[in-house]
Amino acid sequence: MSRIGKAPITIPAGVEVKMDGNTIHVKGTKGELKQEIDNCISVSIEDNVITFARENDHKDQRSKHGLYRSLVSNMIEGVSNGFTIKQELVGVGYRAAVQGQKLELSLGYSHNVLFEIPSEVSVKAEQERGKNPIVTFESHDKQLIGQVAAKLRSLRKPEPYKGKGIRYVGEQIRRKAGKSAAKK
């Protein structure tokens, strides 16, 4: 049995969950999400507890059992508390400015990069003198916020020699020695 799939989800106060055929709808203070669920997984909602069960022990069904439980758990967490991702821009002259739902970035290219943000994600850019600029994303949709953060990081991935680039706050970059260390 899937250990993740077997774990029940308790619905917190202020969150409304309902099934409509194969689609589960979750509504809370932060927003509303829906997820289509495969036929091989059955969902039961009783006394503010959601449980997931599968038909048999096929490898495909075992993997979907834990997957759908995690997706619904993340949906409930998102509509009640929300998710936050912080990224820092490491490099000389790297800057970020927010203009509505657009993020204008100066990343060492010959031109500024305009990065479009979906309407479900809110963005803030903080710059302090002597510190790296920090871009903060907030949303109720974990998949969407992760995708936006990964897309921003792909504009200038951290390089291993100087460590310049866009990284998640707290991320450790594996550093390499330069040419002079290799010649000895």
Query: For 30-66, b where at least 16 C-beta lie within 10 A, e where not — what string?
Result: beebeeebeeebebeeeeeebebebeeeeeebeebbb
Give the domain-ending residue among 43, 58, 80. Answer: 80
Count of domains observed in the chain:
2
- Say if 183 falls within a structural domain: no
Q: Which of 101, 157, 168, 172 is nearest to 134 (CA)?
A: 168
Phi first, then psi: give them for residue 3, nearest 5 degrees. Answer: -70, -35
- Say if 162 falls within a structural domain: yes
- The pTM for the full model equals 0.87
- Same domain? For 32 and 94 the reply is no
Domain that holds residue 45: 3-80
- The residue assigned the tokens 């029940």 is 8
- Say if 174 falls within a structural domain: no
Six-digit token string for 43: 């969902």
Q: What is the tens place of the pLDDT at every residue in 71-127?
A: 999 999 999 999 999 999 999 989 999 999 999 999 999 999 999 999 999 999 999
Give the domain-ending residue among 80, 112, 129. Answer: 80
